[in-house]
Every structure is written in structure tokens, then in C-alpha cells.
């Protein structure tokens, strides 16, 4: 029987509901339960493919090529599993399905309405399993939002339809502290629970995000007014060490409270590996460090590169080193002088011509000064074009993404867009082979490809083609004369999990790292 944990958000957004849901996944999995997560987002975009990184941060790509909300990346990293499109359901997807059904005459002439057609379709999208798998359902938005209502209505009915022992309702709320009066305030939580009760959902567990420890009085008040057991009021203290959050929530009894409601055994959690990662991350003294520059287009919005940041973090933890990150706008980079002070440079994925000249400059600076450089997606296309123009004598080399060119070093692909997991065959003896062996399936998200027609001339000039796609394009290249100068069209950052960093990112960081004493500050 599938068990569901429906998680709603209250009071304000941005209080870490996604990380709370992912953490619950970690805690249940550590007890040997099978777990998966699904996000139900109220917005009408069908998926994240057209969403601007400035508004929603990174578009996370799953193995099946779905373009999802960045929280899916957190889920994958926290439960160490690969998810797919079913983990990112939006109102757009639901309404489109219902309208398509109506057009196909599937509703037998009945009037199509929010209840039951939309609410039924919402529940149709819930994953179902034959065994005791726990599905954590993260409902986007905040209770009281107009767009949220159909989701709440749909999940309210779950209690009856799936059976009350098979559903736990968790409300994630915020408990502010008013500095002037020195008081912790539970009223916003009480109101948001009332709002939830108005639609018929009685929370079983309330996770209270708070900047200060929850006072006993606050806990008692919330338990009484919100009608929950006192040990189901779970403290979630503000903590920028996000890897610590599952451990704190474990200590607060979060998973225990949820399992009790689901009538599942509260087995002992095996968090040994997770604790070791946390110890290495926050307690272990580091002897090496690296000063890294990310030269990208969306650098004002760090969430646009969240997977890249997290994957660097996991690699650094594994290598026991620290890294300092500077975000440099490719748009503003006119000469590479500033970059010479860095131990490593990353040119991340991106779209469009703005900032491309800056990216070329960064690639050239890294190559000429033997600064370890990891180039991803558009960054790799820039690295290839820079090398073609400045070393291989192909002065007109360019990408067709920016218009017609006589030398389409980056050309149109055979598919309009390559998304999701695709195979790369790797050259023996390369840095890439050191990371991944003879082949690797990695996630892609790009429209243009590095043209294999130019492989010979690039190779003659010293570049090594270290990865080829099965449809005949250059997936990876590297410069053997440099310490680390590697370009990959795929996205290694999407394959990192907590405690299991991506190997190429680890190789990059270790080639950039210096002993603490040596590092430039
Ligand atoms: N804009 C480029 C393309 O579509 C690169 C995309 C990316 O960085 N993955 O091919």
C-alpha cells in the first residue's frame, strides 16, 4: 500500500519546505523505507523549460529529459535516487490534461469542473506502488493562495480515499520572534492551520521554522490551538548548514511523528554516512583550499547555478578542502587580468549571446595561464570556439546559436533539443576516462552541438577529443598540455548526490586546490 505524506506551507514562502521534504526523505530512507518525492506546483507553466533562471533559478534536468523545478535536484541529492517528470507536476500540466480529455470526449458529456475533474486529475498524478513505498507530496505555494486551493481540496480527499492510516499531513510553518517585545509569536501558525482546517485538512505534524529555539510555551500553545500532539510540533531552527538539517529534524522527532501517523514501524535510522559527510563538511580541519571563479550570465541569481554549487560542495567535502567562490558576470568581463588570481575557473551552462565574449576571454585566460578550467554546456562551446579561433586558425569559428556563420564549429544538432540522459563514449587515457571510465550516460540540455567535422584540425593543434556522442558530435574535449582544461556538453552537476560527488567535478577541484599556506587570498 502506498503511504502519502502531504506537506503544505504556511505563513510565508521561502522557509525551506523543499529541504524539509527532502530531509524527511533522507530520514525515512535511512530507516530502510522506499521513498520518493513529488512536487505539486500551482503555477500554470507546464514544465520549467520556458522559465527564466532569474525568476525560478536553475532548470533541473532529470534522466528522462524533463525540465523541472530546482527543488527536484534537492530531492535527488538528499535521497540519492534519480527521479523523473512525475516528480514535478504543475497546474499547467493538470489543466492541460483535463482540457485534452474534454476535447477527446472522455468525460461523457458532463460539465467539466474544478471538483471533481481537476481534483481527480491531481490525484491521478500521484505515484502508486504495490508495496509500502512512502510518497512525500510537496504542495507548492502557501496555504491561502488562490492557486493552491484545488490541490488542497484534492489532497484533503486522500484521507478518505487512501485510508487515514495511509496519509500524514505535515504543515511547514514559520514562528517569528518580535525583537521589540522579545516574544515568539505563534499566531501566524495558528491562523495558517485554521486556513488549512477550513479546507478540511487537519495537520498531524507541524514543522516550525524559527530563528530561535521554540519555547515550551509556544509549543504548548500551537499544540492546543492547532489540535496536534505536543510531540508533533517539530522545531526547525534556521541553519545555513543545510546538510545538518536532516540530523536536526531527526533529533526533533520528525520522522518518528510521521511514521506513527502512517502506522509504520519506527525503525532505527542508519545515518552513519550522512553524519560522516556532515562531520567532514563542518568539523574536519581542511588543509587545502581553492579560490574558484564562476564566469556566467546569471551570476546575480545564485540559485541559477544551485546544482553546480551543491556539486562543488560535495566534491570539496569528499576531498576535505574548502573553496571560495566568486561570481563573475560574463557580460562585464572585458579582459582576463582579474581571473589570473584564481586557482580554478568554471564556465557554466547558459543560453544566448549576451556575455559570450566574456566567456571566450575567460576560456582564453584559463588556457594561456594554465588555470584549471571546467567548461560546461555553453561554457564548453565557448572553450571550443576560443581554441578554434586562437590556436587552430579557424578565425571565423562560431556557434549557429548566434546566427549564420561560415565556420559552424557549434552547429545545429540532429534533434531540436537534446535533453536528459545520453551516452558519451570516452577516449582512453583522458581526464574524462579517469573520471568516468570508457563511457558514461550523462544529462544534457542543449540545442547545439560541437561539430565533429572540425575534429581533425582541432586535434592537429593539440586538443584532445575525449568524448563522442552516439549521434556523432563532440561531447567532450580537453587540452592535455594543461593541468585541467576540460569541456563537456553534458551537465555533470546534475549527477551529484550527498556523499557521492561527481568525479569530474572532484578532479577539477583537486587540480585547482592548493595547500592552505600557498593560496592567494
Ligand atoms: N545554449 C547552448 C545550446 O543550446 C548551450 C546550452 C547549455 O549550456 N547546456 O546548445
Q: Is the predicted pLDDT of residue 22 greater than 80, yes or no?
A: yes
Quick: pLDDT tens for 431-462.
Answer: 999 999 999 999 999 999 999 999 999 999 99
> Peptide bond preceding 117: is omega within 30 degrees of 0, i.e. cis?
no
Taking a C-beta distance cutoff of 8 angstroms, is the pair 171, 192 a contact? yes
CA–centroid distance, 306 to ligand 1, in Å, is: 17
**What is the per-residue pLDDT for 520?**
47
483: pLDDT confidence band, cut at 50, 70 and 90?
Answer: very high
CA–centroid distance, 94 to ligand 1, in Å, is: 29
For residue 381, the ligand 1 atom closest to its alpha carbon is: 5
Q: Is the predicted pLDDT of residue 521 greater than 50, yes or no?
A: no
Quick: pLDDT tens for 216-246.
Answer: 999 999 999 999 999 999 999 999 999 999 9
- The percentage of residues in the chain with a pLDDT greater than 90, rounded to a whole number, is 86
Q: How far apart are CA 255 and CA 205, in angstroms?
A: 10
Q: How far is CA 237 from CA 4, 177, 231, in A?
A: 25, 12, 16
- The percentage of residues in the chain with a pLDDT greater than 70, rounded to a whole number, is 99
Secondary structure (DSSP) of 158-173: HHHHT-GGGEEEEEEE
52: pLDDT confidence band, cut at 50, 70 and 90?
Answer: confident
E strand or H helix at 363, and its extent?
A: helix 356-368
Q: Is the predicted pLDDT of residue 254 greater than 80, yes or no?
A: yes
* Protein residue whose Cα sits closest to atom 5 of ligand 1: 378
CA–centroid distance, 326 to ligand 1, in Å, is: 22
518: pLDDT confidence band, cut at 50, 70 and 90?
Answer: low
Q: Please provide the average confidence, as pLDDT, over all residues in the chain.
A: 94
Domains and CATH numbers, the chain: 3-277 (3.40.50.300), 285-518 (3.40.50.880)
CA–centroid distance, 164 to ligand 1, in Å, is: 47
For residue 413, the ligand 1 atom closest to its alpha carbon is: 10
Q: pTM to 2 decimals? A: 0.93
Q: Is the predicted pLDDT of residue 312 greater than 50, yes or no?
A: yes
- Bridge partners, residue 325, by sequence: 292
Quick: pLDDT tens for 276-307.
Answer: 999 999 888 888 999 999 999 888 888 899 99
**What is the per-residue pLDDT for 53?**
75
**What is the per-residue pLDDT for 131?**
84
**Average pLDDT of the residues in 489-503:** 96
CB atoms within 10 A of CB 385: 23
- Radius of gyration of the CA atoms of the chain, in A: 25
For residue 379, the ligand 1 atom closest to its alpha carbon is: 8
**In 125-204, where do the E strands start and end?**
134-139, 167-174, 177-178, 183-184
Quick: pLDDT tens for 87-117.
Answer: 999 999 999 999 999 999 999 899 999 999 9
CB atoms within 10 A of CB 99: 12
517: pLDDT confidence band, cut at 50, 70 and 90?
Answer: low
Side-chain half-sphere exposure of 459, counting CA atoms within 13 A: 12
**What is the per-residue pLDDT for 76?**
98
Comparing 8-17, 85-94, 193-202, 328-337, the range with the smallest average pLDDT is 8-17
Quick: pLDDT tens for 135-176.
Answer: 999 999 899 888 889 999 999 999 999 999 999 999 999 999
The C-alpha cell that represents 284 in the structure block: 574536519
**Average pLDDT of the residues in 9-17:** 86
**Average pLDDT of the residues in 77-90:** 96
**What is the per-residue pLDDT for 515?**
87
349: pLDDT confidence band, cut at 50, 70 and 90?
Answer: very high
**Average pLDDT of the residues in 331-336:** 90
**What is the per-residue pLDDT for 11?**
82
51: pLDDT confidence band, cut at 50, 70 and 90?
Answer: confident
Q: How far apart are CA 333 and CA 335, in angstroms?
A: 6
1: pLDDT confidence band, cut at 50, 70 and 90?
Answer: confident
What backbone phi and psi angles, to 5 degrees, belong to 443? -85, 135
For residue 349, the ligand 1 atom closest to its alpha carbon is: 8
Ligand 1, CB cutoff 6 Å, lining residues? 349-351, 377-378, 381, 401, 445-448
CA–centroid distance, 380 to ligand 1, in Å, is: 9
Tell the burial category of 381 from Cβ atoms under 10 Å away from its Cβ (0-12, 13-18, 19+): buried
Amino acid at each position: 500500500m502506498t503511504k502519502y505524506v502531504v506537506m503544505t506551507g504556511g505563513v510565508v514562502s521561502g522557509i525551506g519546505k523543499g529541504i524539509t521534504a527532502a530531509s524527511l526523505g533522507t530520514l525515512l530512507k535511512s530507516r530502510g523505507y522506499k521513498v520518493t518525492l513529488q512536487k505539486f506546483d500551482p503555477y500554470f507553466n507546464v514544465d520549467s523549460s520556458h522559465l527564466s533562471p532569474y525568476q525560478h533559478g536553475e532548470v533541473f534536468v532529470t534522466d528522462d529529459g524533463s525540465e523541472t523545478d530546482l527543488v527536484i535536484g534537492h530531492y535527488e541529492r538528499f535521497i540519492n535516487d534519480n527521479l523523473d517528470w512525475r516528480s514535478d507536476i504543475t497546474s499547467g500540466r493538470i489543466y492541460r490534461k483535463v482540457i485534452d480529455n474534454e476535447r477527446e470526449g472522455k468525460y461523457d458529456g458532463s460539465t467539466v469542473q474544478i471538483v471533481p475533474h481537476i481534483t481527480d486529475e491531481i490525484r491521478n498524478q500521484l505515484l502508486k506502488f504495490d508495496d509500502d513505498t512512502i510518497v512525500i507530496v510537496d504542495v507548492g505555494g502557501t496555504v491561502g493562495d488562490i492557486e493552491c486551493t484545488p490541490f488542497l481540496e484534492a489532497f484533503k480527499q486522500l484521507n478518505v480515499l487512501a485510508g487515514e492510516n495511509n496519509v500524514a499531513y505535515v504543515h511547514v510553518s514559520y514562528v517569528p520572534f518580535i525583537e521589540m517585545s522579545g516574544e515568539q509569536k505563534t499566531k501566524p501558525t495558528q491562523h495558517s492551520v485554521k486556513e488549512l482546517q477550513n479546507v478540511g485538512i487537519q495537520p498531524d505534524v507541524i514543522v516550525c521554522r524559527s530563528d530561535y529555539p521554540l519555547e515550551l510555551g509556544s509549543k504548548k500553545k500551537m499544540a492546543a490551538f492547532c489540535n496536534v500532539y505536543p510531540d508533533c510540533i517539530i522545531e526547525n531552527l534556521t541553519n545555513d548548514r543545510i546538510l545538518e538539517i536532516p540530523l536536526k529534524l531527526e533529533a526533533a522527532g520528525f520522522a518518528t511523528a510521521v511514521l506513527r501517523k502512517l502506522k509504520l514501524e519506527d525503525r532505527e535510522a542508519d545515518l552513519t554516512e550522512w553524519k560522516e559527510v556532515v562531520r567532514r563538511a563542518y568539523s574536519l580541519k581542511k588543509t587545502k583550499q581553492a579560490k574558484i571563479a564562476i564566469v556566467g550570465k546569471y551570476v546575480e541569481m545564485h540559485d541559477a547555478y544551485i546544482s553546480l554549487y551543491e556539486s562543488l560542495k560535495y566534491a570539496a567535502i569528499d576531498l576535505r578542502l574548502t573553496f571560495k567562490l566568486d561570481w563573475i558576470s560574463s557580460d562585464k568581463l572585458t579582459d582576463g587580468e582579474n581571473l589570473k588570481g584564481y586557482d580554478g575557473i568554471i564556465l557554466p551552462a547558459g543560453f544566448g549571446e549576451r556575455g559570450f565574449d566574456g566567456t571566450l576571454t575567460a576560456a582564453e585566460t584559463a588556457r594561456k595561464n594554465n588555470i584549471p578550467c571546467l567548461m560546461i554546456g555553453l561554457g564548453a562551446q565557448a572553450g571550443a570556439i576560443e581554441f578554434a579561433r586562437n590556436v587552430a586558425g579557424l578565425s571565423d569559428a562560431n556557434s549557429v546559436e548566434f546566427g549564420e556563420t561560415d565556420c559552424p564549429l557549434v552547429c545545429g544538432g540532429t534533434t531540436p533539443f537534446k535533453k536528459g540522459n545520453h551516452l558519451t563514449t570516452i577516449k582512453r587515457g583522458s581526464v574524462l576516462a579517469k573520471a568516468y571510465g570508457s563511457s558514461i550516460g550523462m544529462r544534457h540540455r542543449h540545442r547545439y552541438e560541437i561539430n565533429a567535422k572540425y575534429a581533425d584540425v582541432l586535434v592537429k593543434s593539440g586538443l584532445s577529443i575525449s568524448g563522442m556522442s552516439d549521434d556523432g558530435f563532440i561531447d567532450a574535449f580537453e587540452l592535455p598540455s594543461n593541468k585541467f582544461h576540460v569541456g563537456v556538453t553534458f551537465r555533470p552537476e546534475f549527477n551529484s548526490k550527498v556523499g557521492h560527488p561527481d568525479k569530474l567535478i572532484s578532479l577539477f577541484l583537486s587540480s585547482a586546490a592548493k595547500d592552505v599556506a600557498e593560496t592567494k587570498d
